[in-house]
C-alpha cells in the first residue's frame, strides 16, 4: 500500500529517532520495500527551513544529509504541482 510520509516522520525515520513509533517504522519499511513510499518535495524545503531556523540539527551539511535521506531505493519524491503549491 502506498504511503506518503510527512516531514517529521521522514526526518525521524532517517535519523532513527525514537519518536517514530514501531508501527510507523514497520509501515514505512514495508512500503519502501514495495517501492511505494512517497515524500512530498515540500518536505525537503521544510527540512531546510528547520535547519535554517535552528529547529533541526543535523550531523552533516544539509546537502550531504539530503543526499543520504533521499537515497533509499523505493523512496519516491512527489513533485510539487500548481494545485499543491496553491494549497500550501
pLDDT digits (tens, 9 = 90+) for 38-86: 999 999 999 999 999 999 999 999 999 999 999 999 999 999 889 877 8
Model confidence at 1: pLDDT above 80:
no
Q: Does pTM surpass 0.75? A: yes
- Burial letters 20-54, b for 16+ CB under 10 A, else e: beeeeeebbeebbeeeebebbebbbebbeebbeee
pLDDT reported for residue 85 = 78
pLDDT reported for residue 19 = 97
Amino acid at each position: 500500500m502506498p504511503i506518503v510520509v510527512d516531514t517529521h516522520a521522514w526526518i525521524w525515520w532517517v535519523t532513527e529517532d525514537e519518536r517514530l513509533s514501531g508501527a510507523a517504522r514497520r509501515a514505512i519499511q514495508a512500503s519502501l520495500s514495495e517501492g511505494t513510499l512517497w515524500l512530498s518535495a515540500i518536505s525537503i524545503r521544510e527540512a531546510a527551513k528547520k535547519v535554517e531556523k535552528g529547529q533541526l540539527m543535523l550531523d552533516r551539511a544539509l546537502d550531504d544529509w539530503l543526499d543520504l535521506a533521499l537515497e533509499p531505493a523505493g523512496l519516491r519524491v512527489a513533485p510539487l504541482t500548481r494545485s499543491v503549491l496553491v494549497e500550501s
